[in-house]
Chain A
Amino acid sequence: MSQKSFTKALLAPDLPAPDGLNDGHGAPAGKRFAVYRNNVTVSLIDALEAGFPVVAKLIGAENFRNIAREYLRTEPPASPLMMLYGKGFAAFLARFPPLAKYAYLPDIARLEYALRESYHAADHTPLAPEALGRIAPGALADVRLVLAPSLRLVVSPWPVHALWLYNKREGAPKPVAMAQSVLVARSGFDPEPHLLPQGADRFIAGLQAGKTLGDACESAPEIDLGAALGLLLGTQSISQVKHEELP
């Protein structure tokens, strides 16, 4: 009996208990091995259900648990940090044939994973709102913004923000079909999804990639710059302004 065969049998319910094990009374391990298999399976399903509550609500708990069982056998955690488990769940949902008609589900899973990453991300000291105002208007295009480590972007052809709200907050309006991009921002300890105005996703992605304010704006010509910066400042998502180094 090696840990390799033990592991294989834990993740494959059709395999018998590995050789070399007994029930302590001289009989085969039987149901006693199933205790370990059950612990592994149920604890991982529970972790996924806790991590993707809106996905679970959208497809129902029983469906969710069946799909989660398939997923964990394909993709068990790669690290003892359970807070990271499920990074590949969205991609798994996208290629799971029975879910083809729920095409928006993977993006909901991406949003829920982004919220979890944001919750555990490093703290930062937000920039004072007036700091941007002190920059000479002519120099503004050349500055780079360092954004909060807890910031995440989710870009979707589906109304992910509306779907998330509708399933999380009482009285939220019913979602209507449209593309939505979401900024996950954490002021304090609780991440919150914010609906982004047109073009702001490309603008913020540009900033995250280290582009100057001017270059980030060029990649999103339709953007309302005041609104986008206002959202970043209002959610305490800017850590630092970096001025272009002089030649």
Chain B
Amino acid sequence: MFDQNRNNRLPNRAGLGYKPQHYAEIMDNAAPVRWFEVHAENYMGQGGRPLAQLRALSERFPVSVHGVGLSIGGEGPLDPEHLARLKHLCDWLNPASFSEHLAWSSHDSAFLNDLLPLPYNAASLARVSAHIDEVQETLGRQMLLENPSSYLAFEASDMEETGFLAELAARTGCGLLLDVNNVFVSATNLGYSPQSYIDTFPLDKVGEIHLGGHDEDKDDAGRPLLIDSHGHEIADPVWALLDYTLERAGPLPLLVEWDNDVPEWPVLAAEAARAEAALTKVPA
């Protein structure tokens, strides 16, 4: 059992998903961005520019390591080699935060490079709790677990996602990473209110908020089908949901994610400035 927020040193300010093409601009003047997040798996090589840049970045800014490949929601055991690589990276970098997803991405020997869904029930809860325990014990630090974007539902689910996450946090002592774009995407796709999701989310466990852009499509029945693409500006209703969340949770570290069709630095800086502006409306 790990204490809440023991290792969490990300500031309650705007952060950005790090993209190497902006390295020179960031080192020159990153304002208004105060911290950066990197995907763990991109820094598991043996050396070269990626690790050198990450080291230099970490000397100037708080860095969050965000894993996308541990498959915590997988039916099988965690990959011991991958867990060892994560430990090596966290020991080497000593990041301000480590987070992963409520999802699976590997089956047998195949890595599928996507965050895949799982049913919310007692069996999943037991398995995911054991995986989180193993991660926290191996890394020697608390982790944050992120809520997914959902496109479909499982007949085998008998718990709400918020209750499932609250129970995981209670059992393991992990913190939560609340992605408000994922909340908006899932709520639209599955037909519930994003505000009621926030109302039932264990906000006292949240150590970081994610914001990102989504794509709009339609399903077979002509209903809106939103896709978590991280490929453009954050949508207005997601900014509104952020305000709704911060009013209830208080200030938190806010991360802007933009991973595909990455724009020039000023566009990213403008999104980060908008996140900073949302924070200034919140009483400390």
Contact = CB atoms under 8 A, between A and B. Distances in A.
A25 B221 contact: yes
B113 A77 contact: yes
Contacts of A80: 41, 68-71, 79, 82, 105-106, 111
Interface in A1-55: 1-4, 6-7, 10-11, 20-25, 27, 29-33, 35-36, 39-40, 43-44, 47
A110 interface: no
Interface stretch (A114-122, A128-136, A159-167, A216-224): A114-122
Interface magnitude class on chain A: 35 or more
Interface string B28-42: 000000000000011
B24 interface: no
A177 interface: no
B110 A77 contact: yes
B111 A186 contact: no
B189 interface: yes
Interface of A: 1-4, 6-7, 10-11, 20-25, 27, 29-33, 35-36, 39-40, 43-44, 47, 76-83, 119-123, 149-150, 186, 189-190
A177 B247 CA distance: 69
Contacts of B88: none
Interface of B: 41-42, 44-50, 52, 68-71, 74-75, 79, 82, 85, 104-114, 116-119, 150-156, 189-191, 219-221, 223, 225, 227
A7 B48 contact: no
A44 B116 contact: no
A33 B152 contact: yes
B85 to A, nearest CB: 8
Contact of A3 (B41, B79, B104): B104
A155 B189 CA distance: 52
B48 A121 contact: yes
Contact of B151 (A10, A35, A82, A123): A35
A121 B111 contact: no
